[in-house]
Copies of this chain bind each other. A is one copy, B any other.
Amino acid sequence: MGKERDGEGQERPTVSLSPSAEFPPLSAPDLEALRRLGDQWRVDESARALPVDPELRPTGPGAAHPRAPNEEFRPDQPGELTTTPAAEQPDTDVGRLAVRIRRVLLGPPLSSGSVLRERMRKLIALPILSSDLLSSVAYGPEALLTILVLAGTAALGLSLPIAGALVVLMLAVGASYRQTVRAYPHGAGSYLVVSDSIGPRAGLTAAIGLILDYVLTVSVSVAAGIAAITSAMPALTPLAVPLSLLVIAALLTGNLRGIRVAGNIFAAPTYLFLIAIGGMTLVGLTQAAARGFTVAPAPPVPATETLGVLLIARAFASGATSMTGIEAVSNAVPALRPTEWRNARTLLTWMVSILILLFAGLMFLVHLNGLAPRANETLLSQLAHRTFPHGPWYGIIQAATALILLLAANTAYNDLPRLLYFMARDAYVPRRFLHMGDRLALSNGLITLSIASAVILTAFGGRTQSLIQLYAVGVFLAFTLSQVGMVNHWRRHREPGWRRRAAINAFGAVLSAIVLVTAAITKFASGAWVVVVAVPVLVVLCLRIRRHYDRVRQAVSLRPAPTQLPSEKSERDMTQEFLPQRVRHLLVVPVARFDQTTLRALAYVVSLGQPSLAVHVSPEDQEADRLRDEWTAWGDHIRLEIVVSPHREILEPLAQYIGQLHERSPDLTLTVVIPEVVVDHPWQKVLHSRIEHRLRKALRRLPGVVITSMPVQVSDDSHHPSR
């Protein structure tokens, strides 16, 4: 979903996904700076005379090389090779096994060229985009009544007026989003709309709200879907949490595989659900009509709270979860057929109409049948039992409910990774969310979503009604900001009729804001505080991530920053540093004792023909003298400096000595060549001092110090020989 045609990608970079997003092109000024810099380079011709063919062309009889040269890389054009799957095989047994398991689960890798760019017909788009919204009636009405019943059976009478208020809210938000779709025809997700019309921080806040919403969509929908199943089969109740986790794992696997390709089969559950619930509503109303619309008495429930404004507000806010998912169309405008915005508006109208019909019908039926929430059976299941005491209809309704809920969870799997991708492009979240996995899925986003929702679901013991307490705040935060953004948008553009449009959005914004504040206050103690705390914390975290990336970008930029801090380099200085003819070397070899590793390191530095220095840190004078004698025996080919460390510290004196060399000649490029023993098995690491590792860590902090590791492989012969 949601890809654009190739040709359009250039004009509207905001909503298209690209496998190359991790490799952004240079800007024109950067390219100019690069050209100016390159002009000054003086390169010795010897650098081009390569001792080996980089194109890996076959040389003579193939037997000379263990593997045919073209098994892993095939020639493409001069200077370019293309990998074959063999080149993606990891080098270790464990790694290869992991790849094999991945292949079985996820299928063969897809190449970058096969990014999906198809458009959806309205009749396909309707079920796919509305599953999240429509499935909400499976838990929304119950959430409303669960709160009301706290004030006893009598309070249930208030359910119809509250439902009426919710229908008004649905109409208002629906109308509001119709306008959003028109105004942002190229993709109108809250993050992009709010960033554009209010500002990046507000957009970030809306995005955080949506992220929490998506994570909770998965938790709530899966929990509610499993509840539909356990209502029908009570024996499965104790297994609710493991079953939910299994479903999340299946959703993850399916999405990593890229089930969007087979998206059309997802149309079925939504239509099945529509037919099942619609049919039940009709049958129920007919039955009620036959009874003369008498209201059955609800089972007596003792009141635990008094009926007040706060409780009613809380019930209203809980019922508002019935409209989660209404924003789905606005995210997916570019995935529709042209004219996209017009189709999107039509879809939105259909969806809101169906939602209101289902929601109002269900609320009315529940009222007529005098049903009250129960711990082990969902309200919908009670209603289905009451309406169809016999026959297969009950089972069909429960199955359709479970299916659409799982499909709704799948919506989050489609949308959250895309949102993270856009945020990563703006550097608010780790750049790895830009990476498309080997099946072209945004794997890191999928995995993050699965882990987060699984943790939340487990933490709340898989109880839908507990999870719902957290739900409304994030959604309505995004709704509110998105509609405030639209008001801003109209005011800024002042197109004809903008006042009316702004008024519609403002009305939607006010209603959404009321739900947001109500939900945050009334559900604060029962779980919403998690979201109230998480939103600002995550916003600050994202801003800090952005700041870090900005710093890195500036630090590695080809051009110096326009507003220069004293510590930063001018373009002239930078040029100096990056001209090979200006680089001056000193190679430093720390020597512990004379063995092959040392000799190889010494031969390496000498062969580079640059000034070289060996350093030995010794615990006592006798040892220092002994090493100097050995040095002389070898021929004293390189200048040796011994640092006696009478307290037997090795690492710190070495790091400090190299640091002082650097301080004395900051222009010098110091290369520290460290021999390193590479063992076969991780446990063998404890047998070695790993001083290379610690030295590398200590030296990394020094600017201008380059660290060269010379691995020496030590293989246990009995085990696998290297490669």
Contact = CB atoms under 8 A, between A and B. Distances in A.
B596 A555 contact: yes
A48 interface: yes
Interface in A30-50: 30-31, 34-35, 37-39, 41, 43-44, 46-50
Contacts of A386: none
Contact of A706 (B592, B612, B709): B709
A669 interface: yes
A396 interface: no
22 contacts: A20-B618, A22-B619, A23-B618, A25-B626, A31-B630, A35-B635, A43-B638, A50-B586, A52-B586, A80-B641, A83-B645, A83-B647, A91-B655, A431-B689, A548-B714, A551-B715, A555-B712, A556-B712, A580-B602, A604-B706, A608-B610, A700-B711
Contact of A705 (B50, B663, B711): B711
Report the 8 A-B pairs with minimum CB-CB distance, sorted nearest first: A111-B646, A38-B635, A583-B607, A580-B606, A112-B620, A109-B647, A38-B634, A20-B623
A615 B578 CA distance: 19
Contact of A671 (B597, B603, B628, B708): B708
Interface stretch (A177-185, A316-324, A342-350, A434-442): A434-442
A564 interface: no
A634 B703 contact: no
A435 B651 CA distance: 13
A268 interface: no
Contacts of A67: 660, 663
B619 A556 contact: no
A354 interface: no
Q: How many copies does the complex hold?
A: 2
A63 to B, nearest CB: 13
A112 B644 CA distance: 10
Interface string A656-676: 110111011100110100001
A679 B56 CA distance: 37
Contacts of A689: 431-432
A701 interface: yes
Interface string A113-124: 100000000000
Interface string A573-593: 010011111111110000011
Given A19-B619, A607-B581, A611-B48, A35 B634 contact: yes
Given A578-B599, A610-B46, A707-B711, A717 B26 contact: no
B565 A23 contact: no
B113 A644 contact: no
A687 B608 contact: no
The majority secondary structure among interface residues of chain A is mixed
B91 A19 contact: no
A716 B551 contact: yes
Interface stretch (A71-79, A146-154, A259-267): A71-79
Interface string A75-95: 010011111010111110000
Which of A31, A47, A593, A628 has the most chain B CB atoms inside 10 A of its CB? A47
Nearest to A436: B648
B431 A641 contact: no
A59 B664 contact: yes
Contacts of A549: 687
Given A574-B596, A678-B700, 15 more contacts: A23-B593, A31-B633, A38-B635, A41-B637, A47-B605, A47-B606, A72-B653, A431-B689, A549-B687, A552-B677, A556-B677, A556-B714, A557-B596, A578-B600, A703-B711
A49 B596 contact: no
Interface residues of A, number: 175
A161 to B, nearest CB: 50
A684 to B, nearest CB: 6
Contact of A51 (B51, B665, B709): B665
A492 interface: no
Contact of A37 (B56, B599, B624): B599
Contacts of A657: 56, 72-73, 81, 87
A714 to B, nearest CB: 5
A389 interface: no
B604 A583 contact: yes
Given A50-B613, A606-B43, A607-B583, A645 B677 contact: no
A611 B52 CA distance: 10
A73 B624 contact: no
Contacts of A626: 25
A8 interface: no
A649 interface: yes
B609 A47 contact: yes
Interface in A91-142: 91, 109-113
Contacts of A53: 664
A456 interface: no
A24 interface: yes
